[in-house]
Chains A and B, each alone.
Chain A
Amino acid sequence: MRTVAIHAVPEEQLTHVTFDATMEERISELLTHYPTRRAALLPVLWLCQERYGWIAPGVIEAVAARLGESPAFVQGVVTFYTMFYTSPPARYVLQVCKTLSCAVCGGRELLEHLKARLGIDLGERTQDGTFQLIGVQCLGACGSAPVIQINDDYYENLTIEQLDALVDELSQGKEA
């Protein structure tokens, strides 16, 4: 598996976002799935997060303008959901499941280990911007606890040794 790193576009470059032809094409295609423009909001936000790495205020304005919504409405939607990044994420976002099945099957230990190894607490990121650690709720893979999601990918049944090897690989710039 290759976990693709996130490359967050700096905020300065996202103050006035105009969608290029590829983005426009994909947005137009998405709009054909729904009878209303508003319904395309989540898919368009996903598209933007893929493209820019996060949902900057400038992105919110561009999406709002494209779909005929107010920026305030789009902002309200963005902040309701946990998966849209409203600040630039690190290259690898380590999402450790904290819910019951994982917690009692080694998840708590994994989390403590990660905190100690990276020297950061939940919600923080490493100085070099490689890792960010967040606690998440049940990932729907409890049978293979403990589970960690890194960017888009699931890593299941992880031991501390496997996790260490993974973190080594990722921090050496290789995409695992």
Chain B
Amino acid sequence: MEPVLLRARGVPNSRHIDTYLAAGGYEGLKKALTMDPEAVTKEVLDSELRGRGGAGFPTGRKWTFVPKEHPGPKYLICNADESEPGTFKDREIIEYDPHLLIEGIAIASYAIRANTAYIYIRGEFVRWARILETAIAEARQRDILGASVMGSNYRLDVWVHRGAGAYICGEETSLIESLEGKRGFPRLKPPFPAVVGVFGKPTVVNNVETLACVPSILTRGAAWFASIGRPRNTGPKLYCVSGHVRRPGVYELPMGVTFREIIEEHCGGIRDGHTLKAFFPGGSSAPVMTPDQIDVKADFDACAEAGSMLGSGGVIVLDDSVDMVEAAANLAHFYAHESCGQCTPCREGSDWAMDILDRILEGHGRPEDPATLLRICQYASQGMTICPLGDAFALPISSIVKKFPYEFERHIAAATPRPPKKLPVLPWAGPRPGFDGQ
């Protein structure tokens, strides 16, 4: 497949607006501006584009949830938080083709009749925030953004907003709170952001890759987009492969290639002398998969059927050198650190799971530990929390416990009881009359 999203990778000076325009850039926006916003949404609906941020929600459908008759402002937010472990695709788009993203943002904003769009980018991505700011300035200067978008009477301002280090701010309602200048505590849904979003106004939140798909849907048509992949799982997809493969990186492939093709053909297989042990198909929050599942298609429905999820498309590959208990502990540390702390099952559960896993690794595992871990995970998921971070921590950890029980058994069989902790002694403050009778 010829690249669509990574078309500019390797092209000299690819970030510059002239390079983008020369390659047919902003034609999709030009076309959209001649159409009704509803017709633009219809085109995206027909393409069957599904969100690339993690949940795979149909993008066109999300846009239709924005109340058309709403009198006040509406907002589009581009989610460039890219914080799911194993995910590094949005950065690739911004690095090589920031105008592709800006064009997608402009088309989406037009479709939902928003006059302001924000790009919420993770705080660590200083370089990429600057790239975006430069590209936005170029687009403004050419009247592609601003008071009169490409000469039409449609006005659009795009602002870059930097986060400041919080995984949770990738979750859309937490992102919205953060954008409003608050701590990133997720909101209860409903109401959904499409109805009550940022500043209390209808808001659509879409991932960078999702929005980067939109320009070519406009120029080449929904049917072309839907012809890639299979029904409900369409379009080009960025797979980010990390871990123990020979050639890790971002690969643009038609949706629905198998994990075998990704790992063995494109990434050159597992590094020398080792074999595949496990892989996370869609970021660390997806249930882990095993080598017997390598022929599963890397698309939304096939991953769901296989008991996992395509998530963000971050494929983390682990070979036989990895101790899966250590992998689980590593992830538990991540989620315990990143839980926002609002909901008890997630806040306490992730800490508790982390403590148990650390204790097993220190050689003090107990026979009941795997069952305890599963119980903690059960109570942190299934809608027990305000946002899905509870599931995000529970699913990978419980899947590791279930799929690699023998690794836990091995640690636990060799374990010794943990020596009792020395409790801190309060400093002696002298006699306490009337209390201890002295």
Q: Are A143 and B250 in contact (CB under 8 A)?
A: yes
**Which stretch of B51-59, B79-87, B356-364, B365-373 is in the interface?**
B79-87
Contact A41 B181 (CB under 8 A): yes
Interchain nearest-CB distance for B10 vs A (Å):
16
Given contacts A104-B322, A141-B91, A154-B127, contact A39 B83 (CB under 8 A): no
Complex CA gap A99/B87 in Å reads 12
- B280's nearest neighbour on chain A, judged by CB, is A100
Question: Which residues of A (36-72) have their CB < 8 Å from a CB of B?
Answer: 36, 38-43, 45-46, 67
58-88 of chain B: CB within 8 A of chain A: 73, 82-88
Number of contact residues on A: which range applies?
35 or more
* Contact (Cβ within 8 A) A139 B249: no
Of B211-219, B331-339, B412-420, which stretch is located at the interface? B331-339
Which of A99, A100, A154 has most chain B Cβ within 10 Å? A100
Query: What are the interface flags for A129-157 relative to B under an 8 Å C-beta threshold, 1 for contact and 0 otherwise?
Result: 00000001111111111000100111000
9-residue interface stretch from A11-19, A73-81, A109-117, A118-126:
A73-81
Asked if A140 contacts B88 (CB within 8 A), the reply is yes
A140 touching B125 by the CB < 8 A rule? Answer: yes
User: Once the chains bind, are A142 and B316 in contact (CB under 8 Å)?
Assistant: yes
Chain A residue contacts of B333, Cβ below 8 A: 98
Question: Does A42 lie within 8 Å of B85, measured CB to CB?
Answer: no
Q: Which residues of B contact A2 (CB under 8 A)?
A: none
The CA-CA distance from A25 to B172 in the complex, in Å, is: 31
Indicate if A171 sits at the interface (CB-CB under 8 A).
Answer: no
What residues on A are CB-neighbors of B124 within 8 Å? 83, 136, 139-140, 149, 154
Q: With A140-B87, A143-B88 as given contacts, are A76 and B183 in contact (CB-CB < 8 Å)? A: yes
Band of interface residues on B: 35 or more
Q: With the chains together, A39 CA to B216 CA distance in Å?
A: 33
Complex Cα spacing A77 to B181, Å: 8
Chain B's closest residue to A102 (CB) is B242
CB distance from B369 to the nearest CB of A (A): 21
Separation of A46 and B161 alpha carbons in the complex (Å): 10
Q: Which of B145-153, B162-170, B292-300 lies at the interface with chain A?
A: B162-170
Q: Is B25 an interface residue (CB 8 A)?
A: no
Across the interface, do B123 and A137 meet the contact criterion of CB distance under 8 Å?
A: no
B-side interface residues toward A, CB under 8 Å? Answer: 73, 82-88, 90-91, 122-127, 157, 159, 161-167, 178-184, 199, 240-244, 248-250, 284, 314, 316, 318, 321-322, 327, 330-331, 333-334, 337-338
Query: Can you report 9 A-B residue pairs in the complex whose CB atoms are below 8 A from each other?
Result: A38-B181, A46-B164, A83-B164, A104-B243, A104-B327, A140-B88, A140-B125, A145-B242, A145-B243
Closest 7 CB pairs of A and B: A81-B164, A82-B165, A83-B165, A41-B181, A142-B242, A38-B181, A101-B242
* Besides A100-B327, A142-B86, 16 new A-B residue pairs in contact (Cβ under 8 A), listed by A number: A36-B181, A42-B164, A80-B184, A81-B164, A81-B165, A82-B164, A98-B333, A99-B334, A101-B242, A136-B165, A140-B124, A142-B85, A142-B314, A143-B241, A144-B249, A145-B242
